[in-house]
Every structure is written in C-alpha cells, then in structure tokens.
C-alpha cells in the first residue's frame, strides 16, 4: 500500500498544479510579452539606432589630403599659347591621387550606408536576446504583478546594450 502523499502536504495538489501552471505561463508567455511591450513603448529603438549610427560614424576614415602640385601643362598654356599641343601632353600629376581618394571615399560611404541599414536588425536582435537571456527575471516581474523588479528589468537599457554586443547580433565590440 502506498502512502498518501496528498495528506502530508500543507496545501492541496490542485493549488500546487495551479501555481506551477501560473509559473509556466509567466515564464513562457507573460514575461516575454510584457518585456516586448514595455520595450516597444520605451525609446529603446531610437536610442539604439542613434548609438549605433554614432559608433559607425566614429569609424569613418579621415579624408586623405591630396598634395596640391601645380598643373604644369595648364600653367605653360596660360603663359605660352603657342605651345598648346605640348600643354596637353603634360599629364596632371594630381589626377591619379584625386581619383584614388574619390574611389576610397565612395567605398567608405557605401560601407557606412550598409552598416547604418543594419542598425534596425541589430536593435531587434538585441531585444530578442534580452528576452531569451532574462526570461526568468521577466517571469518573476510578470508573476509578481510588476511589484518585484529584478535588476535586469530595472536596468533594462544597459541589459539591452549588453545584448546588442552579443555575437548573435553581429555588433561585437
């Protein structure tokens, strides 16, 4: 004959099942839903995008100073118009350097545009990583009716920025 377990508990089995069900509901649904709703109502996405854009702009390569060398062909034609054919044979020595700088600047602008276009994806990724990593804290926050505020919930923006630097979001550093 097996011992009656339910009679030795201070509460009924139904209460335990209800408490476990409420905990599971808080863990799987209520906590993440409340977190996503509060993040959407906050200015997180705006702050995240502006921080990332500032970080990207900080990596911009400084402009290369192309030394100004006098255009000998143009100077020669100015003073001696009769040497017009010779003037066009003397190349502009700055032209290759200016062209290289123009190409480098265009490549840099394209890199910055691509990186800025990815900021929304990275910020959304950080939200998802935060919700997954802090699922227990969010469940406690939701189950307590928002009376108990764990540290990751209280300092949500810093936790979100830590999540943003997660390798899964591609914004290491």
- 2-61: per-residue pLDDT in tens? 555 556 767 777 777 777 787 777 777 777 888 888 888 888 889 888 888 888 888 887
Predicted local confidence at residue 34, as pLDDT: 80
Q: Domain segments of the chain: what residues?
A: 13-61+68-169
Q: Per-residue pLDDT for 91 more than 70?
A: yes
Residue 78's pLDDT band, with cuts at 50, 70 and 90, is: confident
Tens of pLDDT, residues 99-157: 888 898 899 889 888 888 888 888 989 998 888 888 888 887 777 777 778 888 888 88
81's CB contacts (< 8 A; 6+ apart) are none
Alpha-carbon span 47 to 152, nearest angstrom: 18
């Amino acid at each position: 004959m097996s011992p009656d377990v339910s009679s030795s508990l201070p509460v009924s089995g139904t209460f335990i099942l209800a408490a476990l069900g409420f905990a599971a509901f808080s863990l799987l649904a209520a906590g993440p839903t409340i977190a996503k709703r509060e993040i959407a109502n906050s200015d997180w996405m705006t702050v995240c995008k502006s921080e990332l854009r500032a970080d990207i702009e900080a990596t911009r390569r400084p402009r290369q100073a192309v030394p100004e060398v006098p255009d000998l062909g143009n100077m020669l034609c100015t003073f001696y118009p009769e040497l017009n054919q010779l003037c066009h044979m003397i190349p502009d020595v700055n032209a290759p350097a200016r062209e290289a700088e123009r190409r480098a600047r265009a490549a840099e602008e394209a890199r910055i545009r691509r990186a800025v276009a990815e900021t929304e994806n990275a910020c959304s990724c950080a939200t998802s990583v935060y919700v997954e990593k802090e699922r227990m804290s969010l469940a406690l926050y939701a189950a307590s009716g928002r009376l108990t505020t764990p540290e990751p919930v209280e300092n949500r923006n810093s936790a979100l920025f830590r999540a943003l630097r997660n390798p899964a979001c591609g914004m290491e550093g």
